């Protein structure tokens, strides 16, 4: 959910799984202040494993913020665009957190554990920013705790994810009955966890929260249990190609503090019938035609779109910017996301991607690029 940021090596943090990553031969890179695995056996290989079998991701760099107390739900609801008052215990919701100008501070998942306890998961690169927002809002209203340093997060994703969990003992097999965006406590491979039926790959699976110190045990057990099912460790590279095929936004690329959720195609998480930070600004945006919109496109010429490449109309005039782009291993096409003027956002509209001075043909297409098969 966030893009890489340049950092100096001395500042890099590591997750509790760093020894496992090194043992598995991961290529480690700086990412949002952390030393993280970008790939193990190769991005395409890991991508295919998640689409056809199962992959295991370390996402312990994400931030986990807890809000507790009688008014915790009201505080959280005011800070996000979606309406978390609709949540039941054990249910989660995707949302945005905006500033007063209506642009996006971060995209989040909010988990309601109970009427007076909520967990907010934010992007690693935005942890300090979002922590400051929620901590300030909690003053005199509810309790706030940053649980990020004590909490590890592992994502088990793919069509065989629940086959692995069926073997994990305890009540792990019961997780197959979880509905999408619901969560529950469970013992998985003798480790106490909280598992949520969420993910960032376009595949089924779970994201598993556990104590920081327990993550290595859980990781190695899941790898062993899934060995004959084709499980593979997967890095940030495959995570990016998987989420792009599923048209899931990446903070720092497709959304940031220069974009609002309406133009980014996230209007479905903006509920104008409640009060929230940035509502007035977004009402003003919604009252007139958008200046631009985020669209999905396929590169039909010979070239690959990359983040930051200019988009040009058929006369060669600069009209927009590519925010994400790469080959799509599952769809077999070079795909991308980018902002274009409203008049150029209809499906079938042709334009050029400026690939280092070469104008490569592209066309606006329907998204998501990939949707998992129904079973």
CATH of domain 289-365: 2.40.30.110
pTM of the full predicted structure? 0.95
Beta-carbon count within 10 A of 13 CB: 15
> Mean pLDDT in runs of 10 for the chain (375 residues)?
51 96 98 97 98 98 98 98 98 98 98 98 98 98 98 98 96 94 97 98 98 98 98 98 98 98 98 98 97 98 97 98 98 98 98 97 98 85
Identify the CATH class of 9-59+151-245.
alpha beta
Place of tokens 């003003």: 284
**Residue 10 pLDDT:** 61
Phi, psi of 91 (to 5 degrees): -120, 150
**Residue 7 pLDDT:** 45
**Residue 220 pLDDT:** 98
Domain ranges within the chain, ordered by starting residue: 9-59+151-245, 289-365
Place of tokens 């998987």: 242
**Residue 8 pLDDT:** 46
């Amino acid at each position: 959910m966030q893009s890489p940021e340049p950092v100096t090596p001395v500042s890099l943090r590591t997750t509790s799984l760093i020894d496992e990553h090194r043992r598995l031969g991961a290529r480690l890179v700086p990412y949002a202040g952390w030393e993280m695995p970008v790939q193990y056996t190769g991005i395409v290989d890991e991508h295919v494993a998640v689409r056809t079998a199962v992959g295991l991701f370390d996402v312990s760099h994400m931030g986990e913020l807890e809000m507790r107390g009688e008014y915790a739900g009201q505080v959280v609801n005011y800070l996000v665009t979606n309406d978390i008052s609709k949540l039941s215990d054990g249910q989660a919701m995707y949302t945005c957190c905006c500033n007063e100008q209506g642009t996006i501070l971060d995209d989040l998942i909010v988990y309601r554990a109970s009427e007076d306890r909520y967990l907010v998961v934010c992007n690693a690169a935005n942890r300090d920013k979002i922590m400051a927002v929620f901590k300030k809002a909690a003053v005199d209203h509810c309790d706030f705790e940053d649980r990020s340093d004590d909490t590890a997060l592992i994502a088990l994703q793919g069509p065989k994810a629940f086959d692995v969990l069926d073997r994990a003992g305890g009540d792990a097999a019961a997780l197959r009955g979880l509905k999408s965006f619901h969560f529950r406590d469970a013992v998985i491979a003798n480790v106490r966890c909280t598992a949520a039926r969420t993910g960032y790959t376009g595949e089924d699976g779970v994201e598993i929260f556990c104590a920081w110190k327990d993550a290595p045990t859980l990781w190695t057990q899941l790898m062993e249990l899934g060995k004959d099912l084709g499980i593979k460790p997967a890095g940030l590279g495959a995570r990016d190609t998987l989420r792009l095929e599923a048209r899931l936004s990446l903070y720092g690329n497709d959304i940031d503090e220069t974009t609002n959720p309406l133009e980014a195609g996230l209007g479905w998480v903006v509920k104008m019938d409640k009060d929230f930070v940035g509502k007035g600004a977004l009402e003003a945006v919604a009252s007139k035609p958008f200046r631009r919109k985020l669209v999905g496109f396929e590169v039909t010429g010979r070239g690959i779109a990359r983040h930051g490449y200019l988009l040009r109309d058929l006369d060669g005039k600069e009209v927009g910017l590519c925010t994400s782009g790469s080959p799509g291993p599952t769809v077999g096409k070079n795909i991308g996301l980018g902002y274009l003027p409203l008049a150029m956002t209809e499906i079938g509209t042709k334009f050029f991607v400026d690939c280092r001075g070469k104008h490569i043909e592209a066309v606006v297409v329907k998204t998501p690029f990939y949707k998992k098969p129904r079973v």
